[in-house]
Structure 1
Amino acid sequence: MSKKIKYALFIMVFGAFFGILCSTLMNVALPTFMKVFNVPSATVQWISNGYMLVNAIMIPVSAYFTKRFTFRSLFIAFTGVFLLGTLVGAVAPNFFILIVARMIQAIGSGMMMPLVNTLAIRYAEPGKKGAVMGIVGLAFNFSPIIGPTLSGIILNFFSWRYLFILVIPFIVIDLIFALKLLPKVPTNQEPAFNVEGLITVSLGLLGLLWSFSNVSQYSIESITVWLPFVIGVVLITIFVLTQKDSDHPFVNLNVFKNSQFTTATIVNSLIVSTMYGNTILLPLLIQTIMGQSPIISGLALLPGAVLTGFMSPVSGRLFDRYPVRIIVTTGILIDCFGTMMQAFIDVNASVAMLTVGQTIRQLGLVLILIPIQTQALSFLPNEMIADGVAAFNTLRQIAASFGTAIIVATINITSHAFMGHAHNQQIGIQAGFTMCLAFLIIALFMSRKLYTQHSSTPKAHKHPHEKLSHI
């Protein structure tokens, strides 16, 4: 990998780190927003859900943009969009403007994320893809875990506006470096844009995410749950059928014909749903049941987040040295053990015990996420990597939203079922952890289909003289 590529990768990872950080940075602050803007819990959830929704919609768009424009122009433009959203959020006078600011942020972040993946997997040298993706993992897997910890600390000393203000200087610095150091190499592709695909997948995702978000507030029989779900399913079905016959698909669904890509993507989606769900479960247990402050719930996540930061590059190197099935299976089993510690914890247990369980979970997670992402993308031919990145990351964001919604719904349904019990809320949260465990067990069975790519298998890379194209 040339110095130019290394500089480009560092700059993009740094920017994407803060984009993904903001996906969970607001989670601990939701009760604060409810008080400040006098909005109910069903409304305040859109600070997180709206962000994830726009992220999910933007990621498929990246497949077109990365073929049409250079990495330099795309990263600079969408980093600027992210900065604009952050500035608007910092001065938002009301809740509506705050939601708009979050969605502007998500437009920028949703484009930055796949750019990093595409650059890393396309230009990493054979045999070093895992190590390179391990560096990328610092942005994708460390930042959403450290988000609640940073949020708790910031809210303990400053107002909620500093959740935006403190991000601004880092994005400005990254933008300056991008303008100075990102190489300027033109692209020769002229793909057509599939408007029908954009409309159907965007509205379909909106319907599905809306439905799953409402499950925690309304019964399944409610029209606010089943109607958007039906609309979402119909539109996604139309999207799939029309994309198959399109000469210029919005996202090339042929990536799912590769069994290793499909298996790895499903396993990743299941794992990510538990990761994001836990950023809500643990603070809820510590603050609601144990009566501790937001900063304590944030600090409970800190050791696991630090471990993720140290282990991400290591887990990438493991992919280059050991069979992927062994790595992923080991990681899932460790994650299951940590999850069981949390699921069956007593009401009088200490925060320290929860922290130990969370740290064990993160050890398992960090062993899985980098290898599984590298596995999915390494089996695709080079010309399909942009489409593979778009599909992989879109499903990652959808899994984060759906998983969180399902886990929260499990908590509410179980709590209501044990309404007469003295510890019904704790039982509900334990049910949420048990749902995470169920997702992990399914992932464990799916991971048995993974296999290691042998040297005789065609690699998804270019010749050395092609390394700088499309930057």
Structure 2
Amino acid sequence: MADTVVAAAPPADSPRERWLAFIAIILGAFVAILNNSLINVAIPQLTTDLGSTTSRIQWVITGYTLASGIIVPITGFMEQRIGYKKFLIAALSVFTLGTAFCIFAWSDSSLIAARILAGLGGGVIMPLSMTIVYKIMPREQIGMALGIWGVAAMAAPAIGPTLSGYLIEWFNWRFLFIVCIPVALFAILMVIVLIKEPPKGARVKFDLAGFLLAATCAGTLLYALSSGSSDGWSSFKIVGLFFVAFWSLVFLIFVESGKDNPVIDISLFKNYKFTISVITSSFVMMGLYGGTFLSPLFLQNIQSVSPVHTGIILLPQAIAMAVMMPIAGKLFDKIGIVPIALFGLTLTSLMTYHLHTLTPDTSHLWLQVVLMFRGMGIGICMMPLSTVGMNAVAPEKVGKASTASNLVRTIAGSMAIAILTFLMQSRTALHSQQISESITLDGAQSLQSTLGSSWATITSGLITLDAYSRGIADTFLVSSIPLFCSIPFIFLFISRRKGVKAIKE
């Protein structure tokens, strides 16, 4: 098993041509992720304007996620079949078309349908763009290139709430889609002009059975994770979805094993460096999604901060990630994965753990500083962890490896949100009960005499607020666990044959 084989050599283009093509790839990836991150803040207004319900309008997000998860397995095959340039243009075009339809949505159903269409294009943009980076960039520049590419992956979700807040406050929710159209069209134009068509490879047969099993597994699992909190984790529907997902995975492994051109190349996971890379980067993704999901809830629901101000408070974290990713990529090319990942993961873990001390009175400056250092840690470790795994696979399997790793990380992120949502709700209910039971009869009489006839309402509100705050703090504590668990895996990247000097890939 080759575990030190690197990506294929790039075409003989000039450095200027390669970096211009690289900018086109980044722009396409950025607009796809940014569009998706804009929606979260707009859910309340979408519910009101379209006369929908919260549970139904959540399908604007869920539909996109499901479509993305279902379509990702086809990425490697299409990249081989029609070439990465044509496939990227097609993906961006479908994404742009779906986003354009969102602008003219007249009901929740039409908006959900348009978002599903956008997800079919947007879902393949990230894994495909990662594959193209490996195809066009020289080996010695891969780390720095993926560090810059990672800015789109990590900074866009943090910038989204700020931009979304301004657009909703000054205009309306349709501008969340309007602003993306010119950027997406420009990205398509840049891809057409700047990226060269790769040479045609051998014609490959489509693995229909593998695709159907992979799509079923990803779709049912993502649907179960996104609906578990509302439908109940023990409900027949959710248990049935998990059952289908599990057996789809079992049959997928059986069907794909030993196949010449599988949709999901199971043999990749025999490469221990690739497998460790996927595991650790998925853990980091879970920690990242935990903070991205919990921080706005704390600021808006507990401290009553506006969406615009919430985005401003979270902005330093995004800037820290954006600044550190290219630096980490360059350091990775020079000194290897172990020192970078250890420092970045340790910093991220400690800062995430530190967030469990949040209270309703926590100052915004303190929160910004902690989140900024947390963003630095994520920016330092995230892309090097992905890069070391991709560098370990054979050149002809880069597309398959990108598909598999992105699919696993997508599921890991959705799983993190589902678990943390359930945990936050259960811990909030527990704290509310404990606080209520701690109020003695004398205490209740004292509150009544102090607050007057409205004492019950005021006390109930304070209990709810304090319990919610404690529930989020507990959830932050749990979200730090996968980050701490990932640290020991880093030492497995040290080559056993070459000793400590072989840390660098």
TM-score (ref. length: structure 1): 0.92
Match of 1:36 in 2: 49
Change in Cα spacing, 1:38 to 1:441, as seen in structure 2 (3 Å) is farther
Change in Cα spacing, 1:295 to 1:452, as seen in structure 2 (3 Å) is farther
Whether 2:463 is the aligned partner of 1:450: answer no
Q: Contact (CA 8 Å) 2:72, 2:123: kept in 1 or not?
A: yes
In 2, Cα distance between equivalents of 1:342 and 1:70? 45
In 1, Cα distance between equivalents of 2:344 and 2:54? 35
Q: Mapping of 1:7-26 within 5 angstroms? A: 7-26=20-39
Whether 2:266 is the aligned partner of 1:253: answer yes
User: C-alpha displacement at 1:18, in angstroms?
Assistant: 0.6
Q: Contact (CA 8 Å) 2:79, 2:399: kept in 1 or not?
A: yes
Unpaired runs of 5+ residues, structure 1, are 461-471
Q: Secondary structure at the match of 2:23?
A: helix
In 2, Cα distance between equivalents of 1:348 and 1:408? 23
Whether 2:187 is the aligned partner of 1:144: answer no
Whether 2:217 is the aligned partner of 1:204: answer yes
Equivalent position to 1:169, from 172, 182, 191: 182
User: C-alpha displacement at 1:178, in angstroms?
Assistant: 2.4
Match of 1:441 in 2: 484
Q: Contact (CA 8 Å) 2:69, 2:219: kept in 1 or not?
A: no
Match of 1:301 in 2: 314
Change in Cα spacing, 1:135 to 1:46, as seen in structure 2 (3 Å) is same
TM-score (ref. length: structure 2): 0.86
What's the CA shift string for 1:419-460, capped at 9, x where partnerless?
333222112211221121111112123223223798999x99
In 2, Cα distance between equivalents of 1:188 and 1:121? 17
Letter in 1 for 2:494: Y
In 2, Cα distance between equivalents of 1:223 and 1:32? 32
User: C-alpha displacement at 1:384, in angstroms?
Assistant: 0.9
Q: Secondary structure at the match of 1:92?
A: coil
Q: Secondary structure at the match of 1:127?
A: helix
Q: Contact (CA 8 Å) 1:47, 1:99: kept in 2 or not?
A: yes
Unpaired runs of 5+ residues, structure 2, are 1-9, 436-462
User: C-alpha displacement at 1:59, in angstroms?
Assistant: 1.9
Q: Contact (CA 8 Å) 1:261, 1:380: kept in 2 or not?
A: yes
Match of 1:336 in 2: 349
Q: Mapping of 1:119-158 within 5 angstroms? A: 119-158=132-171
In 2, Cα distance between equivalents of 1:329 and 1:369? 11
In 2, Cα distance between equivalents of 1:185 and 1:325? 34
Change in Cα spacing, 1:270 to 1:56, as seen in structure 2 (3 Å) is same
Change in Cα spacing, 1:379 to 1:88, as seen in structure 2 (3 Å) is same
Whether 2:186 is the aligned partner of 1:194: answer no
Q: Contact (CA 8 Å) 1:153, 1:298: kept in 2 or not?
A: no
Letter in 2 for 1:414: R
Letter in 1 for 2:167: I
In 2, Cα distance between equivalents of 1:290 and 1:260? 44
Equivalent position to 1:235, from 248, 251, 263: 248
In 1, Cα distance between equivalents of 2:34 and 2:60? 14
Change in Cα spacing, 1:163 to 1:84, as seen in structure 2 (3 Å) is same
Match of 2:226 in 1: 213
Q: Contact (CA 8 Å) 2:91, 2:125: kept in 1 or not?
A: yes
Equivalent position to 2:426, from 406, 413, 417: 413
Whether 2:407 is the aligned partner of 1:364: answer no
Match of 1:67 in 2: 80
| RMSD (CA atoms) | 2.1
User: C-alpha displacement at 1:239, in angstroms?
Assistant: 1.1
In 2, Cα distance between equivalents of 1:235 and 1:370? 30
Q: Secondary structure at the match of 2:229?
A: coil
In 1, Cα distance between equivalents of 2:301 and 2:362? 14
Match of 2:97 in 1: 84
Letter in 2 for 1:102: R
Whether 2:470 is the aligned partner of 1:427: answer yes
Q: Secondary structure at the match of 2:139?
A: coil
In 2, Cα distance between equivalents of 1:307 and 1:355? 11
* Residues 334-343 or 10-19, more deviating: 334-343
Q: Contact (CA 8 Å) 1:27, 1:280: kept in 2 or not?
A: no
* Residues 304-313 or 369-378, more deviating: 304-313
In 2, Cα distance between equivalents of 1:419 and 1:230? 34
Structure whose alpha-carbon radius of gyration is higher: 2
Q: Contact (CA 8 Å) 2:229, 2:421: kept in 1 or not?
A: yes
Q: Secondary structure at the match of 1:268?
A: helix
What's the CA shift string for 1:336-358, capped at 9, x where partnerless?
22212321122211222222221
User: C-alpha displacement at 1:175, in angstroms?
Assistant: 1.7
Q: Contact (CA 8 Å) 1:416, 1:424: kept in 2 or not?
A: yes
Equivalent position to 1:105, from 115, 118, 123: 118
Letter in 1 for 2:323: F
The number of aligned residues is 459
Letter in 1 for 2:483: L
In 2, Cα distance between equivalents of 1:354 and 1:452? 39
Q: Contact (CA 8 Å) 1:332, 1:368: kept in 2 or not?
A: yes
Whether 2:386 is the aligned partner of 1:373: answer yes
User: C-alpha displacement at 1:103, in angstroms?
Assistant: 1.6
Q: Contact (CA 8 Å) 2:359, 2:470: kept in 1 or not?
A: no
